[in-house]
Structure 1
Amino acid sequence: MGWLSGGTPTQIAPGTDRQAEYIRYESLYRAAVYQGWVNILFQEAGFLDLGSRRRNRRLMKRISAVNSAIAGHDDNGHTGILQGGEQRLCGELMAVPDELDQTHRRCLGYLEFRTKLEKDPEFARRFQPVLDYIDGVAGVDGAAMHRRLVLIHNALIDLIDFLDPRQVWVLGDRVRLPVPDAPEIPERLDLIHPTHRAIAEVEEPAAAHGENEPPPEPQEVTS
């Protein structure tokens, strides 16, 4: 959170390969383990009852807000990291049976996670979009990436505040950051639903005649 808020993050070996590797894989693991615990929550708890329907709805709303921020629903996924189904898939991969109690599941530990990334290409492929985002090679410019991370950060803070309002389990500052203005994203016709795209392609020639000027009347054909 340090660099998001403009502060200086803690670094033991700044500017070294060790520090760069730590930032990449620690960030990736935190993103992955969140998806794992959400998956376990829904698989084992079923319908989670917090004592009232209102609190249940509020919890679901906050989890959904985090998922939406990760997927980039606010800009139709242009700057998103993982789509909803991809998030669920990562969550399933992170949840494994608990050796001490086979009726429950747990998340992969950090060592297990790093080992599977190195030895299981299919496992690693599922998390590659997150690494691409961390490495800045996901095709998203810096300003848009910063805004996406701020949105995810704020959604997570809202979820943590709801689950731990007295700061018993999660310590440290819980500061919601100002959301930067959304960058302009050029409209891409290839992202429009095929039906709507066909309509747009038909209407485009008519628009060329002028905003208020109707297209010419078809000429009568006489035999």
Structure 2
Amino acid sequence: MNAELVVALLSGAVALVSVGISARASRRQAVLAAELERQTAALDREVARQDVMSRVRDPLLWAAYDLQSRIYNIARSRFGFLTLYYKNGSPQEREYARRNTLYVIAEYFCWVEIIRRRVQFLDLGNREDNWKVVNFLHEVSHRFSADRDRGPDFRLFRGEQRAIGELMIRQDGEEPGCLGYAEFCRRLEGDQEFGAWFASLDAAVQALGDEFRVQARLIEIQHTLIKLIKFLDEGRERFPFTRELPQQRAGASRWPDAPPADVSGSGNG
């Protein structure tokens, strides 16, 4: 075998090996690129999920906390929020106690309605968690609408809850939000149609302010809201402490003993 043939054979072998190595490297590069693309897409989805959670879940969490805190401060004793500021307060305090109590209820219904419209975006990471949140929301709704042994005070049927939520939605571009307190007060006093949806709640707030009595419905609502809050804020990062109202039998007219001073976390305001 002459030298030229040997060189040719060696060159061919080297070329074949180079082609094999190159093909293998290309395949590995394609696999790595596909994996990188998959990880990038997963990261983008997670960022989007966290963004949606912060825009939808967190406002619901704050609204639920404010509402349970207000209920606690109203119902904890005959010396609670409405007695202090509606019955015995100045005219300005009296109006604040009435209107702001209506507002914290309406704000909660607003965020529930927003979530109802965008329920597919309430992604907490798995279907079971999503189902639990929806179940808590349903339970709160049921506590408001329940009729048996609860009387008409603070009762809102599901359709009324949704209507109040719809009225409270403010559209900012593509993102829905909730009416601010000042705009709510303006519409409550100046828009007859708007105010009519709050008539029964308004009457219940004023009646409870004039004469304190135990409201089993409010106690049950507060307990359910706390369950929702503890689930959404499992690590207690936002609300390290909440206090449940003592459970009372339906129809009780007063507390056997006044509960301890407020420790609900947000004061009387």
TM-score, normalized by the shorter chain, greater than 0.5: yes
More helix by share: 2
Name the structure 2 match of 1:19.
93
Q: 1:182 to 1:130 in 2, by over 3 A?
A: same
Q: 1:109 to 1:78 in 2, by over 3 A?
A: closer
Worse overlay, 114-123 or 50-59: 50-59
Asked if 1:29 corresponds to 2:98, the answer is no
Q: Shift in Å at residue 27 of structure 1?
A: 0.5
Q: Shift in Å at residue 163 of structure 1?
A: 0.8
Name the structure 2 match of 1:128.
199
Q: 1:12 to 1:68 in 2, by over 3 A?
A: closer
Q: 1:170 to 1:7 in 2, by over 3 A?
A: farther
Q: Shift in Å at residue 56 of structure 1?
A: 1.6
Corresponding residue to 2:113 among 27, 39, 57:
39
Q: Any unmatched runs of 5+ in structure 1?
A: 185-223
Q: In structure 1, what is the Cα distance between the partners aligned to 2:73 and 2:188?
A: 27
Q: In structure 1, what is the Cα distance between the partners aligned to 2:102 and 2:159?
A: 18
Correspondence 1:79-158 to 2 at 5 A: 79-98=153-172, 102-136=173-207, 143=213, 146-158=215-227
Q: Which has the larger radius of gyration?
A: 2
Identity of aligned residues (%): 32
Name the structure 2 match of 1:62.
136
Q: In structure 2, what is the Cα distance between the partners aligned to 1:156 and 1:23?
A: 21
Q: In structure 2, what is the Cα distance between the partners aligned to 1:53 and 1:73?
A: 31
Note if contact 1:72-1:78 (Cα within 8 Å) is conserved in structure 2.
Answer: no
Name the structure 2 match of 1:165.
234
Worse overlay, 37-46 or 75-84: 75-84
State the secondary structure of the residue aligned to 1:136. Answer: helix
Supply the AA of the counterpart residue of 1:16.
S
- Spell out, residue by residue over 1:83-121, the C-alpha distance to the aligned partner (whole angstroms, 9 max, x if none): 0010001000001211xxx11111000011011112210
Q: TM-score, normalised by structure 2?
A: 0.58
Q: In structure 2, what is the Cα distance between the partners aligned to 1:164 and 1:74?
A: 32
Q: Shift in Å at residue 80 of structure 1?
A: 5.0
Q: TM-score, normalised by structure 1?
A: 0.69
Note if contact 1:72-1:79 (Cα within 8 Å) is conserved in structure 2.
Answer: no
Worse overlay, 39-48 or 15-24: 39-48
Asked if 1:174 corresponds to 2:242, the answer is yes
- Spell out, residue by residue over 1:14-55, the C-alpha distance to the aligned partner (whole angstroms, 9 max, x if none): 532122111111100000000001111121343533222221
Name the structure 2 match of 1:202.
none
> Higher relative contact order at CA 8 Å, sep ≥6: structure 1 or structure 2?
2
Task: Number of aligned residue pairs: give it.
Answer: 176
Q: In structure 1, what is the Cα distance between the partners aligned to 2:80 and 2:212?
A: 18
RMSD: 2.7
Supply the AA of the counterpart residue of 1:118.
E
- Spell out, residue by residue over 1:136-164, the C-alpha distance to the aligned partner (whole angstroms, 9 max, x if none): 28xxx964x52111111111111111111
Q: 1:48 to 1:3 in 2, by over 3 A?
A: closer
